Amino acid sequence: MQNSRNINLTLKIWRQENHAAAGSLQEYSLEGISTDMSFLEMLDVLNEKLTLEGLDPVAFDHDCREGICGMCGAVVNGQPHGPEKETTLCQLHMRHFKDGDQLVIEPFRARAFRVEKDLVVDRSSLDTIIQAGGYVSVNTGGAPDANAIPIAQKTAEQAMDAAACIGCGACVASCPNASAMLFVSAKVSQLALLPQGHPERQERALNMVKAMDQAGFGNCSNERECEAACPKGISIRNIARLNREFIKAALFA
């Protein structure tokens, strides 16, 4: 493990008062940042400094800071969640940067993600897609025994891998088409692979794709940027599965 160091940074951060205002990159200098800090802790230090100077702190989203909730996210030097593979912004540590580095920090940009303030974007369009079918309808009652419905191990693992999606929107931000196909495909796959998801699979695929299109997301053109940017390593094989689910549903619904 590397020893802790202190580094100096130049930050260029997108500042935008609200969705109607024009934004621009503003430059800030930070000195003595410990490489033990997380990226968000580094932004906390900047915000304390700005507050003490009587300036408006930088707005950014976060919640768990453990890579679980999907709330954090910004584009760092052109890469959603920064330079580390399969790492959320909150789990990115400053030891991956060098003394004197310049970091350009921007919000996730997409037609369906309105910039609300600085680095905060409205990602409720992803919630709208889930509401269109990303669930199973179940009757209330006691939980069935875990082994009551046998599922092949490989299938269970594929479903679990798809269920790892935290809905952060990095796939959208990285895609030149601002497509949400990786997100939708993960949510469709985690249910389509398991017997509990089968009764509603046709309407789920049709309704979620329709909601995705209505929200203004683009189409997939196999750039694979989404897969590279995903902090949970979601595979684009899920997009192939979504396409199969959608075509079968469109033909037989």
* Site residues for ligand FES per CB under 6 A: 62-65, 67-72, 88, 90, 166
Give me the least distance between CB of 162 and ligand FES, in Å please: 18
CB nearer to ligand FES: pick between 64 and 249: 64
CB nearer to ligand FES: pick between 63 and 99: 63
β-pairing verdict for 24-34 and 6-15: antiparallel
CB nearer to ligand FES: pick between 68 and 160: 68
CB nearer to ligand FES: pick between 64 and 228: 64
Give me the least distance between CB of 113 and ligand FES, in Å please: 16
Give me the least distance between CB of 202 and ligand FES, in Å please: 32
CB nearer to ligand FES: pick between 40 and 191: 40
Contact 75/106 with Cβ under 8 angstroms? yes
Joined together, the tokens standing for residue 242 give: 């979504």
Give me the least distance between CB of 38 and ligand FES, in Å please: 9
How far from chain centre, in Å, is Cα 77?
17
Contact 206/155 with Cβ under 8 angstroms? no
Signed CA dihedral, 21, 11, 70, 161: sign only: positive
Give me the least distance between CB of 90 and ligand FES, in Å please: 3
Signed CA dihedral, 40, 44, 49, 53: sign only: positive
The closest alpha carbon to 134, from 182, 234, 203, belongs to 203
Environment class of residue 130 by beta-carbon count within 10 Å: exposed (0-12), middle (13-18) or buried (19+)? middle
